[in-house]
Amino acid sequence: MTPPGRRHGVLDSAAGLVPFGHLGWGYRRRRDFAQRANEYLTDGLRHGQRVVYVGAGTVDTLNEEVDGLRRHMPVDVADGWVEVIPVDEFYVFERGSDVVDPDASVLARVAATEQALAQGFTGFRAVVDVTAVARTERQRESFSMFELLIDQQMARLPVSALCAYDVSALGAAADKLMCLHPYVNAGSVPIRVYTGIGADLTVSGHLQSHARHDVIDVLRDAWRRSGRPEITVDARAAGGDGHTAVHALTELEAAAAFDGVFVTLWTAQAGAAALADRLGLNHVRIDVVPETGEDIAVEHLHARIAQLTNRMAGAPAIEQAKGMLMLTFELSDDAAFALLRQLSQDNNVVLREVAERVVAAFLSHGPRPGRDVATEFLRGVRDELRNLPR
């Protein structure tokens, strides 16, 4: 049985990618980047990860940016440790240049992840504004290889990153970098290419005419880098119109023939093999590998969980607490609110703070259904409220 691929998607929020998720985010307004950074850092802190904030500027200016983010963080993580690293110290650069050395930089990130684990963290998570190292064509060429290589590590190690790109500064040149992530923001790029499970690479999304060149360039970079004569690409989650597919397959055949490699392409579309025969492909083989009902169900479940988590992350604390109580202990909306209000009155603590404590307890200990365990959980929250300094 062909294994299901990595989780992927198009998102409206950076919240909910837990424990890990490699996210490319194109922003036009700095406020949008700050909101996404806040969400991504919050999840990392709540899950005991070492979190770092990387951008152009000095340690002092980056600390000021993080202080601004903290004012909008939930109370349970607002004082959590966020390390700041200037972008020119986070990456390793080619000697005497502003071009990222992809191999050395990946080794540095792997070492940092191993160090985080040795220090007792559950993983490594970075929010990086990549714009400063992606302004020139030479920088982007090198950084695209870094993105390709680091995603291979993210498929097997407890490390993830939100890679942010200022598209108002970079324009369409950011697209090839953005597409190298399993997760991207809505309205950014239509297609993504990233490390697969069972296959060397996975392609997902909607293949449009203007994006097919980026996809083929990435595939070509990958097989040239590997040095292997064959490569397998899982394209079961990719779609597009027939005209674009013909052009893409023809160009992929030409690239593979020029480099002397053989590409096996997985697709769920029954007519694809016949199309390959009509095109006379010699260096590209299409295998029809239908997704099982289980694969699709799991993917839908992941998507539903991400949607709910994103929605909860943006809700006020009282709504979050009510939702957690309703979901876990099967309470109605009114009953969940009544329980919060009772805790507030019994302990002489404002309702918002009660809700924040409930949310923090759930995120720390996990929701546990069952009446006896529910009673124990709520008693724990009550004891915390009673011990608050007055």
CATH number of the domain within which 272 lies: 3.30.750.24
Q: Are residues 165 and 210 in the same domain?
A: no
- One-letter amino acid at 140 equals R
Query: Residue 126 falls within a domain, yes or no?
Result: yes
The structure's pTM equals 0.76
Q: What is the pLDDT of residue 361?
A: 74
In single-letter form, the type of residue at position 121 comes to: F
What's the pLDDT score for residue 2? Answer: 47
Q: Is residue 267 part of a domain?
A: yes
On the question of pLDDT at 322 being above 50, the answer is: yes
Residue 237 lies in a domain: yes
Q: Look at residues 230, 237, 220, 215 and name the one whose alpha carbon lies nearest to residue 289.
A: 237
pLDDT tens, residue by residue, 111-143: 999 999 999 999 999 999 999 999 999 999 999
Query: How many CB atoms are closer than 10 A to CB 252?
Result: 21
pLDDT of amino acid 357: 82
- Residue 338 phi, psi dihedral angles, 5° rounding: -60, -40
Same domain, 133 and 169: yes
Q: Binning pLDDT at 50, 70 and 90, where does residue 312 land?
A: low
Task: Tell whether the model's pLDDT for residue 54 goes beyond 70.
Answer: yes
CA distance 40 to 43: 5
Report, as an integer, the average pLDDT of 329-336.
81
- Which residue, of 174, 189, 204, is where some domain finishes? 189
Reply yes or no on whether the pLDDT at 44 is more than 70: yes
Distance CA 144, CA 165 (A): 13
Question: What is the rounded CA–CA span in Å between residue 126 and residue 55?
Answer: 11
Greater pLDDT, 314 or 282: 282
Residues 377 and 258 in one domain: no
**CATH number of the domain encompassing residue 87:** 3.40.50.300
Q: What's the domain count of the chain?
A: 3
299 inside domain: no
Is the predicted pLDDT of residue 345 greater than 60, yes or no? yes
The two beta strands, 23-27 and 183-185, are parallel
Q: Is the peptide bond before 190 cis (omega within 30 degrees of 0)?
A: no
Predicted local confidence at residue 369, as pLDDT: 46
What local confidence, expressed as pLDDT, does residue 143 receive? 97
* Per-residue pLDDT, 371: 47
pLDDT for the residue numbered 204: 93
How large is the average pLDDT for residues 19-42? 94
Residues 177 and 212 placed together within one structural domain of the fold: no
The candidate with the shortest Cα–Cα distance to 78, out of 45, 100, 109, 51, is 45
Say what the pLDDT of residue 290 is. 76
The pLDDT value recorded for residue 302 is: 56
Nearest to 203 by CA among 187, 227, 219, 188: 219
Across residues 328-338, what is the average pLDDT?
Answer: 80
b or e along 365-384 (b: 16 or more beta carbons within 10 Å of the residue's beta carbon)? eeeeeeeeebeebbeebbeb
Q: What is the pLDDT of residue 197?
A: 85
Please say if the pLDDT value at position 42 is more than 90.
yes
Q: Taking 80 as the threshold, does the pLDDT of residue 59 lie above it?
A: yes
Domain membership of residue 36 as a residue range = 1-189
Do 74 and 169 fall into the same domain? yes
Tell me: pLDDT of 109 over 90.
yes
Q: What pLDDT sits at residue 295?
A: 56
In a domain, 130, yes or no: yes
Residue 330 and residue 287 share a domain: no
Answer yes or no: is 47 within a domain. Answer: yes
Burial of residue 172, with CB atoms counted within 10 A of its CB: 0-12 exposed, 13-18 middle, 19 or more buried: exposed
Q: What angle do the packed helices 272-279 and 242-259 form, to 10 degrees?
A: 60
3 and 102 part of one domain: yes
183, 212: one domain: no
The tokens for 45 are 């802190």
Is residue 311 very low, low, confident or very high in pLDDT (cuts 50, 70, 90)? low
Pairing of strands 284-288, 262-267: parallel
Candidate from 295-309, 319-333, 376-390 with smallest mean pLDDT: 295-309
Using an 8 Å Cβ cutoff, are 336 and 362 in contact? no
Does pLDDT of 151 surpass 60? yes
Question: Which residue among 128, 160, 189 closes a domain?
Answer: 189
Residue 306 pLDDT more than 60? no
Per-residue pLDDT band for 210 (boundaries 50, 70, 90) equals confident
CATH number, domain at 353?
A: 1.10.10
pLDDT of residue 389: 63
How far, CA to CA in Å, does 354 sit from each of 227, 341, 343, 365?
Answer: 58, 8, 7, 16
**pLDDT at 291 > cutoff 70:** no
pLDDT band with cut points at 50, 70 and 90 for residue 235? very high
Would you say 324 and 367 are in contact if contact means Cβ atoms under 8 Å apart?
yes
Q: Are residues 9 and 106 in the same domain?
A: yes
Q: Which of 381 and 373 is assigned the larger pLDDT? A: 381
Residues 200 and 67 in one domain: no
Within a domain: residue 380?
yes
Q: Three-state DSSP class for 378?
A: helix
Query: Is residue 167 assigned to a domain?
Result: yes
Measured between alpha carbons, how far is 264 from 233 in angstroms, rounded to an integer?
A: 6
Domain co-membership, 164 together with 213: no
The mean pLDDT of the chain is 86
